[in-house]
Amino acid sequence: MIEEVARKLGYRSSAIARALRTQRSRSIGVLVADITNPIFPQIVKGIDEVLSAEGHTIFLCNTDENPKRQYALASSLIDRNVDGLILVSQNLQSDEFNKLLEDGPPCIYVNRRPPNPHHDYVGSDNRQAIELLVDHLVGLGHRRIGFVTGSSNSSTASERRHHFQQELEKRGIPVDERYMFQGDYTAEGGRRAFAQMIERGIDLTAVMASNDFSALGFIDAAQNHGLSIPEDISVTGFDDTAGVNNFMTYPLPIKGVTTIFQSKRELGTLAGQMMLRRLDGSVSPQEPRQAIVPVALRIRDTTGPAKAGPSMGSVATG
Amino acid sequence: MIEEVARKLGYRSSAIARALRTQRSRSIGVLVADITNPIFPQIVKGIDEVLSAEGHTIFLCNTDENPKRQYALASSLIDRNVDGLILVSQNLQSDEFNKLLEDGPPCIYVNRRPPNPHHDYVGSDNRQAIELLVDHLVGLGHRRIGFVTGSSNSSTASERRHHFQQELEKRGIPVDERYMFQGDYTAEGGRRAFAQMIERGIDLTAVMASNDFSALGFIDAAQNHGLSIPEDISVTGFDDTAGVNNFMTYPLPIKGVTTIFQSKRELGTLAGQMMLRRLDGSVSPQEPRQAIVPVALRIRDTTGPAKAGPSMGSVATG
DNA sequence: CTGTTAGCGCGTTCAA
DNA sequence: TTGAACGCGCTAACAG
């Protein structure tokens, strides 16, 4: 009866008073490195799907790859008593930041490795991914293969780079430092990589980029330079960004990039489920969990057989 | 002195206790219709830029175009004492939802119109945009122009549709209902529109789509059907999504879409500034503010002169 | 500058 | 079922 009257009067119980009293807010903070990179919203949707079904509200914050913002936002969320924190592709961090999380609520890392063994991690199988790509290219006859790395402060970038070198060694292909180009997951980084390749005067038959945007930037620069893809040089991406959704941007004169598909949504749902388990205490705090999601190779139109000779207007082989 | 000790002990003051006491949380809730559509993150960045500089924390929530989620999330944010609410492209709403906002904190609508005159609004100049597009196409000799609308529950969609018809009438071009196709801002919607055009057996020389994704979907379908763009049919987009960021997805065999550029970031910063003014009470609550942001035409490669005769394999003229 | 006190709106407990 | 009292951690107001 009283409840009815209350409702008529438009009464709403205060979530913050309840949170203050119970020390639980039924909210989860999600920190994302760059909200304009389409793979992250997709991961967030997966997280949201799992957690909002259980009555948790997600607060999404964009750190813009900025360590200061990262610290400030994590602080703010912790001070607002979020019950948990999910860090999607956050930068490797200062001791100060790690200390903050140490005393904080349960924390799950997605996509980039946690610095702290107490925290959970979910990510794609980068080793398998690189193996698939190298297999594909080597099978096409490529030996001089370049690599465009991701941002230097990303654990994913160093992982992929590491596995790339390992896969080459496994096959007895010498690793040449001049074949490595520093990228940053943007198209511009891919263009710079192409410019460096020209500058260094090296002759590659294939290049693996750390994500699709780098690959597209590289392709764009190569085409502007008069090269044909994949006839002159094969290029691979990573993420399968095109499959993310119904949206598509920045058309280029190619049909599709050979790339690695990773299930962004599954990364999110797994992270959400891990969080639920941390929240209900059904797993010991000292027992870190890891989930590694398998990936798949998507062969499209940017990879082909390696050319026998030099690929860029040098002397023709006899 | 005491402060130092407190810091050493890792003391953090509780934002929720403060919020309970002061009735101000220094946080702003932002509801977004679809976080995977790249125009929204860009708007959010603009909002964030302004508000976080003033010490406000932004909580971003994704409503997924779902009215139930929209209501639940707005409720949750209000119950958590957000100081303000920014609704980006929210669906036209139930009375229940409007009632909720009525008693809630200051509220600013972005991109889609508020149902309630007490609320502020910031959006692009859709009239000017449509005028620019129609001018461009008519100047190229087009008279039979189709239109792919946006989602039916979007005020932006109906505005654009309305202005389109007005611009045609202004120029004495008859408005034909068969030239209107129901879209939904996705590439798939654009493809369906093309299929409908074929089904209806009508012969258009140009089609205006309500956003870039619809345009790209339409173009894709047209090309698969053997048509050339813009030789057989001109197509325009809306938003200039390609200019959004460094990222690009889903390459198509065209270089760039003729479209309307709207400054997503500026929509965001304006919304942020409006919110600041509401928060410091420097504007009377009864005085709704509106900001209409000018747009610009970006002529690229998907529009060209109208063909004299039928565009699709009918009898040749003359 | 420091100490004391009251109360924000809840959930919890104990009493009726 | 209902009521009264207490405290979550903070701010504001006032006292020393």
Question: CB–CB of A41 and B36 under 8 A?
Answer: yes
**Sign of the CA dihedral with B97 first, then B102, B103, and B106 last:** positive
Residue B48 has pLDDT above 90, yes or no: yes
Separation between Cα atoms, residue A223 and residue A220, nearest integer Å:
5
DSSP B153: T
* Chain segment B187-229, per-residue pLDDT in tens: 889 999 999 999 999 999 999 999 888 898 898 899 889 999 9
Please give the angle made by the CA atoms of B280, B285 and B290, to the nearest 5 degrees: 95
Q: Which residue is nearest to nucleotide D11 (CA to C1')?
A: B21
Question: CB–CB of B257 and A250 under 8 A?
Answer: no
Is the pTM above the cut of 0.85?
Answer: yes
Question: How far, in Å, is the CA of A108 from the C1' of nucleotide D16?
Answer: 50
Nearest to B312 by CA among B176, B214, B200: B200
Provide the token pair at A250: 């920045």
Residue B135 has pLDDT above 90, yes or no: yes
* Chain segment B259-275, per-residue pLDDT in tens: 999 999 999 999 999 99
CA distances from B133 to B213, B236, B260 (A): 17, 8, 8
- Which residue, chain included where needed, has tokens 């794609």? A124
- Which residue, chain included where needed, has tokens 């120029």? B171
Q: Are B29 and B59 in contact (CB under 8 A)?
A: yes
Min mean pLDDT across A78-82, A290-294, B97-101, B236-240 is at B97-101
Residue, of A65 and B73, whose pLDDT is higher: B73
In a 3-state reduction of DSSP, which class is residue A302? coil
Question: How far, in Å, is the CA of A305 from the C1' of nucleotide C6?
Answer: 80
Provide the token pair at A139: 């099978």
Strand partners, B84: B28
Four-point Cα dihedral A166, A171, A176, A179, nearest 10: -80
Maximum CA extent, chain B? 95
- Which residue, chain included where needed, has tokens 């948990």? A84
Question: How many interface pairs between A and B have CB atoms less than 8 angstroms apart?
Answer: 185
**Phi, psi for residue A48 in degrees, rounded to 5:** -60, -45
Question: CB–CB of A252 and B249 under 8 A?
Answer: no
Q: At what angle do helices B264-279 and B39-53 cross, to 10 degrees?
A: 40
* Chain segment A82-136, per-residue pLDDT in tens: 999 999 998 777 888 888 888 889 999 999 888 877 789 999 999 999 999 999 9
- From chain B, the residues in CB contact with A255 under 8 A are 251-253
